[in-house]
Structure formats: structure tokens, C-alpha cells
A = this chain, B = another copy of it.
């Protein structure tokens, strides 16, 4: 294979999509979600093992598009009022703070630097909405009180984690003064409040756009507009010191309610973009892992991190749930149900690695921690709490 050939866009795209398909096949074989299969196959063909593809600028660009589209589509699934439930908000908040502290402590205990510890703490904060919801749906438990608490808290969790990510970047790259941490909080809060306030207007605007003659003539007009908003919000978020994916997520939540009649269905459209580009994003996560860093010391750290990740989430969510009067069993289900880390933990790792704020060891530990918590949680839930639905 010549250098020119293996760096051609056609080669990289077809290989990335081929690997994604292989990931689906592997996932079915090992009874896991497609995301896990894609990461594992990405790991196999990447520099860690076969070396068929490297993390080129093109892969990085397409994966970046994928991360933005992914969070936009996740945002499209949630209504603004889901975010503002105070009971779930408390579960989410305690379930973010305790894992952050746990991640920070275990990382410094292993002698890693403060930058690494801050990013690892942040990576432990976010519950994977997709994986949790999928597990509960598979077990037919989506309409229970515990499931609603898990999903509600997981959504708020994501917002809090994305904020934590933005602050981590600020803390690591800047200084620790109030101006550098407090001001971003204000900016971020301002952006979210403005976006949510503006969100209803945006929905109405999209609906009005949909009724114009231009949308009747060109049904694709509204879809292009909506995707433009997704990237525009991502850009604004980044300008304000938030992570760009927070912006995409908020764009998604804001646009959730718009009802389209003439134009092409933008939710379908975003979903199709998501299929191709989020797949490539997950494959790229595997490509980025360098398993050569997995010395026995790193593996020990990885195991400790995973145990801390599960315990802190279980404790951090069990306590506030129990204090709100939920049953012991429901509180425990919520605790374990919040344990899987997914996209956001991986994105935190990715951003840290790309900006050279965390080491390859930490990145690999975060990715494997995400994978293991995701694999273990469904097993625990099925085995301990819902043996009947096995």
C-alpha cells in the first residue's frame, strides 16, 4: 500500500465504515451494544494491533463532526422540562460530585499529575444515557419510577458533566482564580439560559420557515437550517469557553419541539448523519487507544479506576434517592443504573488527549473504564435486580 493510497479519503471512509460494520457483527456475537463492538474493532485495526489506519487529520475531522452530530441527536431526544426536575437534579448533582472526587483522588494516589487527575475526575461524572436507556428498554423496565429517575438524572448528569469538562479545560489551561473559574460559570450559565429561552422562539422560527414558499419549493431548506444551528451553537459554546459538544446538545434540546409539515424531517436527517458519523466517531476512539501503554502498573490503575467509578456512582446516587424516600431496592437500582460511562467520558478523554492535557495511559484507562462499566452494569442489573427478565 502506497502512502498516497492509504491516506485517500475514499480508502479511509470505506475502511472506517467497514470497521464499523465489523463492530456491529462483533457486538452481536458478544451480546453487547454496537458502540462497544465499534470501539473494540477500532482498537484492533488501529496502531495498537494491525496498524491499518492511523488517527489522520481526516479521521480527526470526521470524528469531530461525529461527536457534534452525536450530541445534537441525543439533545433532540429530550424536552427542556426533563432537564429541570429538581428531584432528579439532586440525584444527578451528588452523583457527579462524588465520582469527580473519587476519580481525582485515585489518579493522584497513583502518582499522576493534577491535570490528569482533573480530567479523570471529569470523565467519571457522566452517565451514558444511550446505554442505560437501552438496558432498561431491553428489560421492559422503562416506565418504572426508578427508570424515570435514572433517565432524568442521566440527562442532567450529561449537562453537568459537559460543564465540568469545560471547567476542567479552563482549570488545566488557565489559573485557578475566581475570574478564570467563576466567569466561565457565568458565561456558560448565561449561554444555557439564553439558549433555552431562545429555544422556544427557535422552534417557532423553524416552524414558520417550514411554511414559507422557499421550504415548499426546496424541502431540504429546513434541514440545512437546523444543521447550521447545531454547528452554530457548537461554535458559540466554544467561543464562550464551553465544549463545542455542549452547544450541539443544547441546540438539540432547543429544537426538539419543532413540528415540520412541508420540509424534510430534520430528525430523520440528523439520525442518518448520526448513523454514519457517530459510527466513525466510536471507531476513532478505538483507533486512538494505544494498548502498548498497558503495563501492569497501568492495568492496576485501570482496575482501581473502574471500581471507584462504579462505587462512587452507586453511593452518590443511592444516598440522595434514599433521602427522597425511595425504597432501598429502587435506590440501589438507580445507583447501579447510573454506573455505565459512555460517550461523554470518552469525549472527555479524547479532548484531553488531543490537547495533550492527559497522557496516553490515562486515555487508555478512561476508554477501558467506560467499556467495562458499560459491560458490567447490564450484568449486575439482570443478575441482582431483574432475574425474572433475564
Instruction: List chain A positions with a Cβ less than 8 A from chain B.
Output: 5, 8-11, 13-14, 17-18, 20-21, 24-25, 28, 34, 57-58, 61-62, 64-65, 68, 213-214, 217-218, 220-221, 223-225, 227-228, 231-232, 234-235, 238-239, 244, 247, 264, 268-269, 272-273, 275-276, 279
Contact = CB atoms under 8 A, between A and B. Distances in A.
Given A8-B235, A228-B18, A238-B8, A223 B13 contact: no
A208 to B, nearest CB: 15
Contacts of A247: 10
A68 B276 contact: no
B14 A232 contact: yes
A217 B34 CA distance: 10
Contact of A276 (B13, B62, B227): B227
List the number of copies, as a whole number: 2
Nearest to A5: B239
A231 B272 contact: no
Given A28-B214, A268-B272, A9 B224 contact: no
Nearest to A19: B228
Nearest to A229: B14
27 contacts: A8-B244, A9-B61, A9-B64, A10-B244, A10-B247, A13-B65, A13-B231, A14-B231, A14-B232, A14-B235, A17-B225, A18-B228, A20-B224, A25-B214, A28-B217, A28-B218, A34-B218, A58-B61, A223-B272, A223-B275, A223-B276, A224-B275, A227-B276, A264-B272, A268-B268, A272-B273, A273-B273
A218 B24 contact: yes
B225 A21 contact: yes
A228 B21 contact: yes
Given A17-B224, A61-B58, A221-B24, A235 B11 contact: yes
A127 B291 CA distance: 52
A268 B269 CA distance: 8
Contacts of A223: 272, 275-276
Contacts of A238: 8, 10
B9 A276 contact: no
A9 B65 contact: yes
Nearest to A213: B28
Given A8-B244, A224-B279, 5 more contacts: A5-B239, A10-B244, A13-B231, A24-B218, A57-B57
Contacts of A268: 268, 272
A276 B224 contact: yes
A255 B20 CA distance: 20
Contact of A214 (B24, B58, B231): B24
Contacts of A61: 9, 58, 61-62
Contacts of A8: 235, 238, 244
Q: Which of A8, A24, A58, A224: most chain B Cβ within 10 A?
A: A224
Contact of A10 (B9, B34, B231): B231
Contacts of A232: 10, 14, 18
A28 B221 CA distance: 12
A246 to B, nearest CB: 12
A269 to B, nearest CB: 4
Given A231-B10, A238-B10, A21 B272 contact: no
Contacts of A224: 17, 20-21, 24, 275-276, 279
